[in-house]
Amino acid sequence: MSLDAAIARALPGIPRSASPVDQIAYARDLWPRHHLAVTEGRIAEHRPGAIVWPASTAEVAQVVRFCADEGLPLVPFGAGSGVCGGVLPDERTVVLDLKRLSRRRALDRQDPSVEIEAGALGIRFEEELNAEGFTLGHFPSSILCSTVGGWVAARSAGQCSGLYGKIEDMVASLECVVGRGEVVRFERRVRGPDLTPLLIGSEGVLGVVTAARLRLHPAPPARAFAAFSFPSLEAGWDAMREMFQAGLRPAVSRLYDPFDSFMARLGAVRRQRAHGGAHAGAEPTEGAAARAHGARGPGAGAAVLRGLLRAPGLLNQVVDTLGSRVLRGATLILIFEGTARASAEDLARAAAIAGRAGARPLGEEPARHWLAHRYSVSYRQAPVFMAGAFSDTMEVAAPWSRLDALYRAVRGALGRHVFVMAHLSHAYPDGCSIYFTFAGSAPSVAAAEAKYDAAWRAALDAAIDAGGTLSHHHGVGRSKAPRLGAELGLGADVVHALRGVFDPAGVMNPGNLLPREASPAAPRRPLPAPPAAPVLDRDSLLVHAAGAARLGEVERALEQRGLTLALDFGSASPELTVDAWIAAGAPGAADPWSDPVDHLVAGFTARLASGAELAVRPAPRRAVGPDLFALFLGMQGRVGAVTSVHLRAHGASRPRALPTSIQRQPPLGDAEAAWIEAAAVAARGVR
């Protein structure tokens, strides 16, 4: 019996297709490596056996149960806008398109939140919220062609993350279909236990997200705009660091390197001439590679582009030589949201910081122009591929103290293979992400694929060696999966163990996020001993403390530097050890929803009950699979003990709080408790 016939027999009420047209349409996401094959006519070589369109959670459960029983790979599909190879089916694969699950189930005005199904398209969802006077605050560049479920699965970040945080900061609960078709709701608990961080970022390998309850904010009544030119990229990011550590929360803060800033000025001049001299403003974007050489398709311009990109080392060297002297600095775009008064006050503080860093004000227009064209970047790759070249992006992140090393290492590694630009797009008090855009060319598609692969391998290794995280918001997919173990170590095996709980049949998007098999047994280097006394990273405002250290000891060490943990010691005894405090749910810590941009813990080490050691390096808001800290926060030691932790240290300046009345510690039901216990048992047994 064919797969289509088997589905028709088992799931008669659910629309399905095995037509060649649909198989091609659902054969991949937007991983740029796939585009190279298309340029020589190799279209959709990996095609699914069938596509199904369930319209309810119950129907999703039927499909999951059918695939689990039959051992058929199952790939959840939103809008296909992922760029990491998260979709790569074969002839036995069933693609589960969730776009018919797009209903808004409820809107709560009292405790501003919305219950929305996973297939809701981003832009339409946000526009409907705006009509009701609310915003989610989540604006990924792909908002025109991505879904709520895709945001959750990939641990997405939006353009306004500087105020509202990432998607994980917006989830109040998740409805999922897991295992063999069980429907379960996981609630967000500020003090734990909480499994939502394990599903967020799981990229379809632990289950299918069918709906989410998301926190809402009032639509901002006003915005304040500004742009600044800094003498160097480093001067710009030092100013960004000072802004965020001073408690400022610009909704948008994007810092573009000198080359991209230079290309934006050329674009502004062209627009000015086209409009008869009217000022159009700068537009720093990730699309400068396409603009730089007029790449609009086959022809002389395309030939010039291909020729230049075949000597990337020389091209990068020319840009470096010109540097700030000719290219005239890096451009920072700032947009504050809120009341008119608060936005203006915060912008004035930010402008003072920028001025002390040697910045030159550019006025409002560049930021206003950026906002008007904020989604255009998602459509700028096509001209490069049409010209016979290729381009891609890579978003990494690190604490502020390691940002320079990360920038230089990744840029240098990429620069040996491709032409590189960069901008900083998501900043936090403890660190920042760097978004690299690169382009290259080769005489043949096979040679281009080899160059593309070599560039990615070199860049991923450089990011790991420099102490960064492999992904800040695009996720892992298949493009970064081979290096996941280099970042997470034993953590990759923990995710494999969790998959055995949530997907015992092993059918959920096999090959994505994780290699198909757990990492082979190999000698692991023992972790460094926890620090004997708290160690402060002043640049990143992170304090590294042993799990056995007492909270009072850490607080006293910070007080000597004019800093604090900002805990309510009426709720958290200074005599508690850091490990016991975390196991209890970090009592006395501020609700992270009051400042979604911040987080309690940037990295940690732990000893599992099996005796194995786990390390998650400090990084601002990584997107490399599930957040494994959820296995320890509020879990009462079920999985193991935290042996060291990188905690946020705070100065005197605090941000404006974002209030919420959503219940933050909902009761734990029996069904959810059983899943929590099953996850704990699996994780603590990893060796």
Residue 209 labeled ligand binder: yes
Can you read off the two tokens belonging to residue 513?
């996020």
CA angle 92, 97, 103 (to 5 degrees): 160
Over its C-alpha atoms, the chain yields an Rg (Å, rounded) of 24
Q: Give every CB contact of residue 272 below 8 A, 6+ residues apart in sequence.
A: 278, 279, 280
How many whole angstroms separate alpha carbon 618 and alpha carbon 111? Answer: 33
Residues 73 and 507: beta-carbon distance below 8 Å: yes
Counts of helices then strands in the chain (DSSP H, E): 23, 23
How many whole angstroms separate alpha carbon 398 and alpha carbon 523? Answer: 27
Report helix angle 400-415 to 233-245, nearest 10.
150
Model confidence band, residue 80 (pLDDT cutoffs 50, 70, 90): very high
Residues 357 and 236: beta-carbon distance below 8 Å: yes
Q: What is the per-residue pLDDT for 286?
A: 45
How many whole angstroms separate alpha carbon 438 and alpha carbon 455? Answer: 9
Q: What is the per-residue pLDDT for 279?
A: 43
Q: Does position 516 have pLDDT exceeding 80, yes or no?
A: no
- Report the amino acid identity of residue 128: E
Q: Does position 488 have pLDDT exceeding 60, yes or no?
A: yes
How many whole angstroms separate alpha carbon 465 and alpha carbon 462? Answer: 5
Residues 179 and 488: beta-carbon distance below 8 Å: no
Residue 85 labeled ligand binder: no
Q: Tell me: the pLDDT tens digits for 148-199?
A: 999 999 999 999 999 999 999 999 999 999 989 999 999 999 999 999 999 9
In the block, tokens 């209903």 appear at 103
Q: Select from 364, 338, 330, 334 the least CA-distant residue to 347.
A: 334
Q: Does position 569 have pLDDT exceeding 90, yes or no?
A: yes
Residue 75 labeled ligand binder: no
**For residues 416-433, average pLDDT:** 96
Q: Tell me: the pLDDT tens digits for 131-156?
A: 999 999 999 999 999 999 999 999 99
Q: Does position 302 have pLDDT exceeding 80, yes or no?
A: no
Q: Tell me: the pLDDT tens digits for 256-297?
A: 998 888 777 665 655 566 655 544 444 444 454 444 434 444
Q: Does position 640 have pLDDT exceeding 90, yes or no?
A: yes
In the block, tokens 């069933």 appear at 94
**For residues 56-70, average pLDDT:** 98
Q: What is the per-residue pLDDT for 522?
A: 46
Residues 257 and 331: beta-carbon distance below 8 Å: no
**Domains recognised in the chain with CATH numbers:** 3-97 (3.30.43.10), 104-218 (3.30.465.10), 222-481 (3.40.462.40), 535-656 (3.30.465.10)
Query: Can you tell me whether residue 200 is helix, strand or coil?
Result: coil
Q: Tell me: the pLDDT tens digits for 343-355?
A: 999 999 999 999 9
Q: Does position 301 have pLDDT exceeding 80, yes or no?
A: no
| High-pLDDT (> 90) share of the chain, % | 83
Residue 279 or 366, more confident: 366
| Cis peptide preceding 520, ω within 30 of 0 | no
Q: Tell me: the pLDDT tens digits for 4-14?
A: 999 999 999 99
User: Residue ranges of the alpha helices (H) in 328-362?
Assistant: 340-356
Q: What is the per-residue pLDDT for 311?
A: 82
Residues 87 and 79: beta-carbon distance below 8 Å: no
Residues 256 and 284: beta-carbon distance below 8 Å: yes
| Cis peptide preceding 250, ω within 30 of 0 | no
Model confidence band, residue 316 (pLDDT cutoffs 50, 70, 90): confident
Q: Does position 517 have pLDDT exceeding 90, yes or no?
A: no
Q: What is the per-residue pLDDT for 290?
A: 47
**What average pLDDT is seen over the chain?**
92
How many whole angstroms separate alpha carbon 206 and alpha carbon 210? Answer: 13
Q: Tell me: the pLDDT tens digits for 111-124?
A: 999 999 999 999 99
**For residues 580-602, average pLDDT:** 97
Residues 386 and 524: beta-carbon distance below 8 Å: no
Q: What is the per-residue pLDDT for 553?
A: 98
| High-pLDDT (> 70) share of the chain, % | 92
Catalytic residues: 435
Q: What is the per-residue pLDDT for 591?
A: 96
Residue 204 labeled ligand binder: yes
**For residues 459-478, average pLDDT:** 97
Phi then psi for 590, rounded to 5 degrees?
-65, 150
How many whole angstroms separate alpha carbon 567 and alpha carbon 649? Answer: 10
Q: What is the per-residue pLDDT for 382?
A: 79
Residues 320 and 419: beta-carbon distance below 8 Å: no
For the entire predicted model, the pTM comes to 0.94
Q: What is the per-residue pLDDT for 280?
A: 41
Q: Does position 666 have pLDDT exceeding 80, yes or no?
A: yes
Residue 203 labeled ligand binder: yes
Q: What is the per-residue pLDDT for 638?
A: 97
Model confidence band, residue 527 (pLDDT cutoffs 50, 70, 90): confident
How many whole angstroms separate alpha carbon 469 and alpha carbon 406? Answer: 9
Torsional sign, CA 585, 587, 589, 593: positive
